[in-house]
Structure formats: structure tokens, C-alpha cells
Structure 1
Amino acid sequence: MKIYTTTGDRGKTSLFSGERVLKNNPRIVAYGDLDELNSVIGSVVAAIGQEHQPVKDELQGVQGLLLDAGAWLATTPGAASARFLKPFDDKPAKQLEAAIDRISDELPELKQFILPGGHLSAALAHVARTVCRRTERRVLDLVEGEGEDAGLTGTMQQILVFLNRLSDYLFLVARYCNHLHGCADTLWKA
């Protein structure tokens, strides 16, 4: 099977729902950022180390949820193909909230700002956090650009809530990675 198709050589690509759109279409930009976020999280997983499998498994679960969200972003509102997509409700955000609470309980209280860095896995988790924030802004741009028909309701609202929780989760994952590897958070000296 060839990896190249040549169908995108003129700057267009296909959505899951079948439409051909320019590669700089807001929908493509949004799920492109989501894909970048997923790749950075994969880098975090690779950098953590084999001895910390539970956090790796949890992050890979998040990667799967990002693929689910990406399928929704690649489908225009009301498209018939949406019936094939896995529902994206409030459960992913609630899972992240539970993980945030669990990780917070294991870390020392943070009393001042920290600088991104420390162990490589922590530094990459901070990069993932910032890519997540950008992705959240892109999805919001997409929703606003589609107007009242798509609106900030239903699945897109849940994806935005998920991304908002995910950035908080990734901040704690960064701190947790430092904790797991015996690295102190680098405090900001104002």
C-alpha cells in the first residue's frame, strides 16, 4: 500500500464527512493542532521510562480520546457520517478531573510559579500543555466561525471542556514526571 495518494497536491484534502476543503480550512487547522498535541503526548510517553507504566497507560488513553475528538473535528455538523463516530460526552473531562485530583494529592503544594523544565518527560509535558491551549483556541475559532448552526453546544462543547481539563492535567503530569524522576520543579525567581 502506498502512503502517498497525490490527491492533496493542489492544497485540498477530504474531511471524514467527505467534503474536499483547502488544507488551511479552520476545521483542518483545528484537527491538525489536535494531531500535533497527540504527537507531543506520544513524546512524553516515550520519555517517561518503562518503570512508570501506569502514567504511560493513562497518557495513551488520553491519546485515544484525542483521536475520538479529531474524528468529530473532521466531520461537518449534521453530516450523515457522524453516526459512525464514537460519542464524545462529559466522561473524558470527568476522567481527567479524577486524574487531576489523584495526582494533586501525590505532589507537594505549589506556592509559586514554576518554569517549564526538569526531566525531559516533564519538559515535553509542558510543551504538550501549551499545544493543548493553542488547540483549544483553534477549536473555539472553528466553532465561532461556523456560526449559530454549529454553535457551542453538544459534542463541540464537550471537546472544548475536555481540552481545557487536559491542559490542567498536562501541567500536573509535568510536575508528576519531575516527581517520579526525583527532579524538583524549577521555581520562578521574580
Structure 2
Amino acid sequence: MVVLNKIYTKTGDAGETALGNGARVAKHSMRVNAYGTVDETNATVGLARQHASGDMDAMLGMIQNDLFDLGADLCRPDMEKDKDAEYAPLRMTDTQVARLESEIDVMNADLEPLRSFILPGGSALAAQMHLCRTVSRRAERLSVELATTESVNPAAVKYLNRLSDWFFVAGRVVNNGGKDDVLWVPGANR
């Protein structure tokens, strides 16, 4: 259970923050950048939800919860020490990845194949989905970079990879099933 009585602690005033295992690291560390960008992704999803309703809003709500799980996963290094932890750290699972894949398949089933790249836009919600896609892709790049030097849960990286695909397909769905997609015209303004 999380209890937040006091919001500011002054413990970060010197440019450090605590990870999930209590270790102190620089706020600019690769790990903090990775989970901070996951948090930024979550904020963009919150903006998208302002335009969503029904099943789309429900799926976005599940993604927001997953992103908190993902942040908790990334802020806890040393996966090999999980068995020695006082409590089992929260880790992303392949089940969460599979759910995204299933949702992508369902959403994509009724879309016409693309014959051109699309530009972010169309409806307000589609534009927000593309913002979510690009920020989640940055979170993925940072997590992959982190994994070159530190322990990272492979399911966390897979989730981020599928998530950006999810946002792309969802952007097409909310753009009138792709009918209102804005197509890229190569060299149109030469």
C-alpha cells in the first residue's frame, strides 16, 4: 500500500533520487530517464483519454495502469536479487504483452492495408494517439539502451515495443477506421 502524506521530501535537492530498492542515483541516470519517460507516456495517455470513450477509453485505462507497473519494474534494478527481496518486486509479464497483441489484432482486423505512411493527425484523438506512440517509442529506446549496461526485464521492453504499435493502430481506428488518416505525399512541397 502506498501512503503519501508529504509530497516534498527535500531528499532530491542535490540531484539524486531513490530507486525502488533504496539505492540513490543521479536524477539524470539512464534508468531514471527510462522510467521517467514511461511516466511521460502515461501523461500523454491521460490527455488522449480526454477525447476517448467506451472500449477505447477502457483500453487506455488499462494501459495507464500497466505503465505504472512498468515504471515500478524499471525503477527496481538487479532482477537477479528479486528472490532475496523482502517482498516480490512488481515485474511486467508476457501476459500483459499478449493482451496488447490481442487488442492490436482485433483493432487491425477491420482496417484497410496502408498504401502510404500516414501523418499524425486527422481527429484530435488520433493526433493524441500518435503523440502517445512517439513518446512510448522514446521510452522503448531508453529502456533498450539501459539494457546494454544494466538488468532490464525483457517483458518490459517487449511491452513498450507492442505499445507503440498499439497506439499506431488505435490512431487509425479512431480516425474513422482509417478513412480520415492523413496520408504522406513524398516530395509534395518541392
Q: Which residue of 1 aligns with 2:15?
A: 11
Amino acid of the residue matched to residue 155 of structure 2? Answer: Q
Amino acid of the residue matched to residue 64 of structure 2? Answer: Q
Equivalent of 2:146, from 133, 142, 155? 142
Q: TM-score, normalised by structure 2?
A: 0.87
| 8 Å contact from structure 1 (residues 17, 82) kept in 2 | no
| 8 Å contact from structure 1 (residues 16, 74) kept in 2 | yes
| 8 Å contact from structure 2 (residues 72, 91) kept in 1 | no
Deviations for 1:98-137, whole angstroms, at most 9, x for unmatched residues?
Answer: 1111001132322211111111111011011011111111
Equivalent of 1:174, from 164, 171, 175? 171
Partner Cα distance (2:85, 2:176) in 1: 44
CA offset at residue 183 of structure 1? 6.5
Q: TM-score, normalised by structure 1?
A: 0.87
Where does 1:33-182 land on structure 2 (aligned, <5 Å)?
33-48=37-52, 52-77=53-78, 78=81, 80-81=84-85, 83-146=87-150, 150=151, 156-179=153-176
Q: Aligned in 2, Cα 1:141/1:119: closer, same or farther, shift over 3 Å?
A: same
CA offset at residue 176 of structure 1? 1.2
CA offset at residue 167 of structure 1? 0.7
Q: How many residues align?
A: 179
SS at match of 2:17: strand
Instruction: Point out where structure 1 has 5 or more consecutive residues left out of the alignment.
Output: none
Amino acid of the residue matched to residue 57 of structure 1? Answer: A
Partner Cα distance (1:106, 1:83) in 2: 44
Amino acid of the residue matched to residue 88 of structure 1? Answer: M
Structure ranking higher in helix proportion: 1
Partner Cα distance (1:123, 1:132) in 2: 14
Instruction: Point out where structure 2 has 5 or more consecutive residues left out of the alignment.
Output: none
Percent of matched pairs sharing the same residue: 37
| 8 Å contact from structure 2 (residues 34, 74) kept in 1 | yes
Q: Aligned in 2, Cα 1:82/1:111: closer, same or farther, shift over 3 Å?
A: farther
Partner Cα distance (1:53, 1:3) in 2: 34
Query: What is the aligned-residue RMSD (CA, Å)?
Result: 1.8
Equivalent of 1:25, from 29, 47, 67? 29
